[in-house]
Structure 1
Amino acid sequence: MKLAVITLGLATMACGVASPRAVAEPRKPAAEADTPLIARELKDNTEVAQALREYYTKYEYRIPMRDGVRLTTVVYVPKDRSRTYPILMNRTPYSVQPYGEDRYPAADDPRFMEKIAPSQQLFRDGYIFARQDVRGRFMSEGNFVDIRPHARAKGEIDESTDTYDTIDWLVKNVPGNSGKVGMWGISYPGFYAAQGAVDAHPALKAVSPQAPVTEWFVGDDFHHNGALMLGDAIDFFASFGKPRPKPTKKVDWSSFRDETDAYEFYLNLGPLSNVNARHYENKVAFWNDMQQHGVRDEFWKARDPRPYYKNAKPAVMTVGGWFDAEDLFGALETYHAFEKQSPGANNTLVMGPWSHGGWARGEGDHLGDVGFGQKTSAFYRENIEYPFFQRYLKGKAVAPPAEAWVFETGANAWHRYAAWPPPDAKPVFVAFHAGGKLSSAAVAGSEDAAGADAYVSDPAKPVPYRDRISTRVNHDYMTEDQRFAARRPDVLTYSTGDLESDVTIGGPIEASLWVSTTGTDADFIVKVIDVYPADFPDPVPNPSGVHMGGYQQLVRAEVMRGKFRTSYEKPVAFKPGEPALVRFTLPDAFHTFRAGHRLMVQVQSSWFPLVDRNPQTFTDIYHATEADFRAATHRVHRTPQMASGIKVGLIRGKI
């Protein structure tokens, strides 16, 4: 099956009111034009900014929706009228500033290119680029709703209907368009791109959701398996969640957060009930909603877009990063939702070694201390994204995209697969053994009398998510050295010996923990780690002075809030001292542990301030008090009857 996803947004405004324009008679179809709009190379953003004014005219429109609400849309149209151009649209809640037909994005803006086009290649080739403030954000009218639920009744509006109405207006009113539209977007705009493929307008031919926001209770952004992603949620909604009673050009991303150590800041914050009392003042609507919906009830289910990604007509290309700390789950789940529910569609998955949006920013040759041996972002933009839009929007004779373009970390190589996860990945259970050993061998009853490993988890002294002090949650932690955690008494560590040959895993990782606790609730974090050999060379140059010998690179990690181990809708307390199975899935990985390296698994019960503290008493954590937070002793069992470990998809090698 093939599918492709692109996110774009376009609209038209004259004197503040949408007004139809005569569409220029097409002189030459875009498919017949082989020369790019801008033939010369553009070496930097300054030259792109100059070319934008030279080759494009900016329009600003307010496009009417079916209910009369008007959405502000900025459109860049090529001045050339010798041929027609497809439209590439991006819908965003982050503002299409600068507003005004005589104002253009600043070349020194770190997101400069994204405020115009997906890449310089597409900008130079020639498209009509449209960006739209979504309903209720900045200069668009109406009320904004986070992850707006899909309309269930005829006549209701949602993001799909707004996209349809926008496209319909654009193709009828923007001069020089070819009648074909594509969409793209990163993160929240990725969600809007995916929504465009639902009951899509006939003109929409290609969609690329990139790191799309998907499901906010189970796996994306603000909750993972019911656990609140504390630092991201508080910082994000402190600015994004500010009320906007009427359209405004003002863009204010300031927050109440100061520049103190984030660990200390959130520890001093205390229970989550203090957030409103000390900072939000009940003015952040979505935070208030989250406080009232501490389980996966109808509020959250209505905001899960996956059930509606069916019968897609446009080509869809979903893009994600293996080290995306925000929406790794969203990219994988969006791809799978389209794949399962749109069997006849052209559906493609792209996964590279990137943090959030890294494919569109920078070169992608490294993340933190870890190098990838090549400029992966440039490869993606030139060899995957550019041909995708050229094929479906301009009819260029380029090869169809692979079902899955995936980058193998560790070995640092791109692969094309006919399916994802790869069919040759065999499930192998890797068990915890006595003495901190990790092996695919079955657990023997004679290993030791205890048959379990114990640690004390104290909410007053939670395990930090990283060793380095930071004032915000730093998303480079997805590849960071975990030696600091391995040395803590409240972190269990299991490791193989030095691997005799390369070991490659691909696909999801399933954690199975048999646990018991002296408390009535607990979080369990499982981390999969690549341990480098002692003689691994340091990078050259080495500005941070990192020592890579013995480096414990994080490959994948996930948290499970224990009370949701059997149901997200109906939490269940632990019975003190009684073993219980906690099983959950870590997002996919595609990684090779090289010969001489070791595979390590760490288990802990706090990951702060990335994840909020579990009081370790069974309660509604959003309304917990200081008295609810108690230290507890947790045991991870490892007997033949209660074997704990991880299940991986083994592609090659032996563990």
Structure 2
Amino acid sequence: MPLRRFLCLPVLAAFLGPLAAQAPEPPNPVMARYTKREVLIPMRDGVRLFTSIYLPKDTSRPHPILLQRTPYGVGPYGEDAYRRGVGPSATFADQDYIVAYQDVRGRFMSEGTFVDARPVNPTKGPKDTDETTDTYDTIDWLVKHLPDNNGKVGMWGISYPGHYTAQGMLCGHPALKAVSPQAPMIDLWEGDDSYHRGAFQLTANFGFFLFFHSRHDAPSPDRPEVTEVGTPDGYRWYLDAGPVAGLEGKVKQAPEGIWEEYIRHTAYDAYWQARDLRPHLRGVKPAVLTVGGWFDAEDLFGALACARTLTEKSPATDSHLVMGPWTHGQWAGGDGSRIGTAEFGSRTAAWFEQDVELPFFNHYLKDVPGPALPKATVFETGSNRWRTFDAWPPKQAKPRSFYLESQGRISFARPGATDGFDAFVSDPAKPVPYTQDISFDYSAPYMVEDQRFAARRPDVLVYETAPLTEDLTLAGPVRPVLHVSTTGTDSDWIVKVIDVFPDDAPDPAHCPPGWHAAGQQMLIRGDALRGKFRNSFTTPEPFVPGQPTEVAFTLPDVFHTFKKGHRLMVQVQCSWFPLVDRNPQVFCDIPHARPGDFRKAEQRVYHSADLSSRIEVLALQ
């Protein structure tokens, strides 16, 4: 939920009116085509939700409605203040949808009390509310009160608004025909914004709450000020600030209750379980277009989990998945042709907007005929091409394992050695950085960043194949199965899968000074597990010092081709700072750890016939 914010802001900026005086702008096309209304829509418990509505001036025919519900404000506020674009993208500019934006409960101009990722209430009575009832009541009001609507409603949203879209598709209103949850938060503890299997997403969350403040007064259109920390060097600031529980005291800001809940609930307890949407994704009636980015550091998990759960638990739903080569929300805020030095050969976002997203809504809301949308439309990085499948992961993908061996090798066969391990010392006082960038907020391009800076550290183990003799395509989840030991009683385990380019690789068009693609180690996928949760997400347990134990977890899916001549590399480390908070390597309540709890530990990764550390994948033949 971190970047349910800053990464959303570039996406939203194109559609918000100017927030500060700037140079003269051209005439506003939305003002020329739409009439704006602002209304307070009553919910079943009497709370009223502020809704900004853009009505097409064309009244010659009825129009469908598009709805977005958001905690970020529907500004600009005032019926004479217009956005410069409405709808999911600029491709909707001439489509004459009725577009409604709503402040959710307790945010900006809406009444009521805000609850972070408010849980679905499966036992609600006639006057009980949750996000599904608020969605139902809003849709019901819109179709009954807005002139010239055709009785069909769609929803869309990215990140936190994507979460509200995923909740909204559960509302059951018969007018809701099509929804597009994009980078939706589905499970905040297992893999979305807050934790990744117990590893707290530090920069994302603390930075988010410097921007996102709970409202303690009456409804207001005012945006909270962003708290400044006084340095761009997040690595140094977080290291100097100490344990997580003391961070709020380092900034001049009132305590944030949501932040305090986050660091209180470090295990997958009832707080997080209630916010997991997967148990509720059953019997979904509207058509669904789930959208995500392969390099989304926030909600890659959510997009994949949403699509997978619909397939498993709601098989009758007309559900489709799109995964592109994008960071968080990049499909709606740029052309999608590159991330940092990684180039994808085409304007992938523009293609998605014009050829997938717009036809999806037009088909279900305007009855526009068109070819059937594939079950999965996914971009294959490495080969840089769109592909379609009738299932994700592809049915033709087969299991394969890559075994870690001595001397930094990766083998395609189980090792025959009777013993063997690699060891290093992990020091919480000098954690491995997750990026070379000097920034306080997280660096979005880190998901494709060259990992040579990490490979040179003594506390990062590096394994790689020989140059590949043919293309290798991975398509699906990546599951590290490590046999490890530690001299501590807790430890994080970070695994990264990397594409190593050959020494004759040409430089891309957008190449930083002094950097070259030859030999680069491009991150394809990386993620963390807090070791105390290796056997149970709900019940943490310490390591027995020096005793080998299995640590296995699942990284989000990839769809990447390692080209002939490239190498597949795996890096293993025990810190990834400050993306992930520091593990003291002592079994304790980590947010409230004392300075003396942070200790060095010797970490071992075993690779023998009996203790075969490996990476399990699905590969296309």
Measured at CA, do residues 377 and 649 of structure 1 come closer, stay the same or move farther in structure 2, by a change above 3 Å? same
* 1:81-480 equivalent positions in 2, closer than 5 A: 81-105=59-83, 107=84, 113=85, 116-151=86-121, 152-154=123-125, 155-279=127-251, 283-445=255-417, 451-480=420-449
Measured after TM superposition, the shift of residue 623 of structure 1 is 1.3
Partner of 1:4: none
Partner of 2:10: none
Q: How many Å separate the matches in 2 of 1:565 and 1:416?
A: 35
**Contact persistence 1:138–1:244 (CA under 8 A):** no
**Contact persistence 1:464–1:607 (CA under 8 A):** yes
Q: Which amino acid aligns with 2:47?
A: V
Whether 2:569 is the aligned partner of 1:564: answer no
Partner of 2:517: 548
Q: How many Å separate the matches in 1 of 2:368 and 2:338?
A: 32
Measured after TM superposition, the shift of residue 50 of structure 1 is 2.4
Deviations 1:415-441 (A, max 9, x none): 110000001111111100111001211
Measured after TM superposition, the shift of residue 543 of structure 1 is 5.0
Deviations 1:62-119 (A, max 9, x none): 00000000000011011111101000111000000111100113x5xxxxx4xx2101
Q: Which amino acid aligns with 2:65?
A: I
Partner of 2:20: none
**Contact persistence 2:153–2:365 (CA under 8 A):** yes
**Contact persistence 1:525–1:603 (CA under 8 A):** yes
Whether 2:53 is the aligned partner of 1:75: answer yes
Q: Which runs of 5+ in 1 are unaligned?
A: 1-44, 108-112
Measured after TM superposition, the shift of residue 281 of structure 1 is 6.2
Match of 1:590 among 559, 567, 576: 559
**Contact persistence 1:369–1:546 (CA under 8 A):** no
Q: How many Å separate the matches in 1 of 2:473 and 2:369?
A: 35
Q: How many Å separate the matches in 1 of 2:514 and 2:258?
A: 42
Whether 2:32 is the aligned partner of 1:62: answer no
Which stretch has the larger CA shift, 322-331 or 240-249?
Answer: 240-249
Q: Which amino acid aligns with 1:134?
A: V
Q: How many Å separate the matches in 2 of 1:253 and 1:519?
A: 42
Q: When the two structures are aligned, how many residues end up with a matched partner? A: 596
Q: How many Å separate the matches in 2 of 1:330 and 1:81?
A: 39
**Cα RMSD, aligned residues only:** 1.4
Partner of 1:513: 482
Q: How many Å separate the matches in 1 of 2:341 and 2:105?
A: 40
Measured after TM superposition, the shift of residue 442 of structure 1 is 1.4
Measured at CA, do residues 268 and 442 of structure 1 come closer, stay the same or move farther in structure 2, by a change above 3 Å? same
Match of 1:604 among 566, 573, 585: 573
Measured after TM superposition, the shift of residue 568 of structure 1 is 1.1
Match of 1:618 among 575, 587, 611: 587
Measured at CA, do residues 638 and 282 of structure 1 come closer, stay the same or move farther in structure 2, by a change above 3 Å? farther
Measured after TM superposition, the shift of residue 470 of structure 1 is 1.9
Measured after TM superposition, the shift of residue 277 of structure 1 is 3.0
Partner of 1:17: none
Measured at CA, do residues 334 and 544 of structure 1 come closer, stay the same or move farther in structure 2, by a change above 3 Å? farther
**Contact persistence 2:51–2:101 (CA under 8 A):** yes
Measured after TM superposition, the shift of residue 221 of structure 1 is 0.7
Normalising by structure 2, what TM-score? 0.94
**Contact persistence 1:509–1:585 (CA under 8 A):** yes
**Contact persistence 1:282–1:288 (CA under 8 A):** no
**Contact persistence 2:292–2:323 (CA under 8 A):** yes
SS at match of 2:330: coil
Measured after TM superposition, the shift of residue 397 of structure 1 is 0.7
**Contact persistence 2:232–2:438 (CA under 8 A):** no
Q: Which amino acid aligns with 1:72?
A: F
Deviations 1:198-236 (A, max 9, x none): 132100000000000111111001100111000001000
Measured after TM superposition, the shift of residue 244 of structure 1 is 3.4
SS at match of 1:248: coil
Q: Which amino acid aligns with 2:159?
A: S
Measured at CA, do residues 304 and 492 of structure 1 come closer, stay the same or move farther in structure 2, by a change above 3 Å? same
Measured after TM superposition, the shift of residue 544 of structure 1 is 4.2
SS at match of 2:553: strand
Measured after TM superposition, the shift of residue 282 of structure 1 is 6.2
Match of 1:50 among 28, 33, 44: 28
Partner of 1:492: 461
Q: How many Å separate the matches in 2 of 1:246 and 1:596?
A: 62
Deviations 1:558-582 (A, max 9, x none): 1000000001111010000101100
Q: How many Å separate the matches in 2 of 1:508 and 1:541?
A: 30
Q: How many Å separate the matches in 1 of 2:67 and 2:595?
A: 48
Q: How many Å separate the matches in 2 of 1:244 and 1:208?
A: 32
Which stretch has the larger CA shift, 592-601 or 533-542?
Answer: 533-542
Q: How many Å separate the matches in 2 of 1:444 and 1:81?
A: 75
Which stretch has the larger CA shift, 54-63 or 240-249?
Answer: 240-249
Q: How many Å separate the matches in 2 of 1:291 and 1:366?
A: 35
Partner of 2:473: 504
**Contact persistence 1:243–1:284 (CA under 8 A):** no
**Contact persistence 1:425–1:649 (CA under 8 A):** yes
Measured after TM superposition, the shift of residue 245 of structure 1 is 2.3
Measured after TM superposition, the shift of residue 46 of structure 1 is 6.0
SS at match of 2:332: coil
Whether 2:508 is the aligned partner of 1:539: answer yes
SS at match of 1:359: helix
Which stretch has the larger CA shift, 156-165 or 290-299?
Answer: 290-299
**Moved >4 Å (runs of 4+):** none
Q: Which runs of 5+ in 2 are unaligned?
A: 1-23
Normalising by structure 1, what TM-score? 0.89
**Contact persistence 1:518–1:633 (CA under 8 A):** yes
Q: Which amino acid aligns with 1:153?
A: K
Q: Which amino acid aligns with 2:556?
A: P
Q: Which amino acid aligns with 1:436?
A: G
Measured after TM superposition, the shift of residue 308 of structure 1 is 0.6
Q: How many Å separate the matches in 1 of 2:502 and 2:284?
A: 47
Q: How many Å separate the matches in 2 of 1:602 and 1:202?
A: 50
Measured after TM superposition, the shift of residue 241 of structure 1 is 3.0
SS at match of 2:210: helix
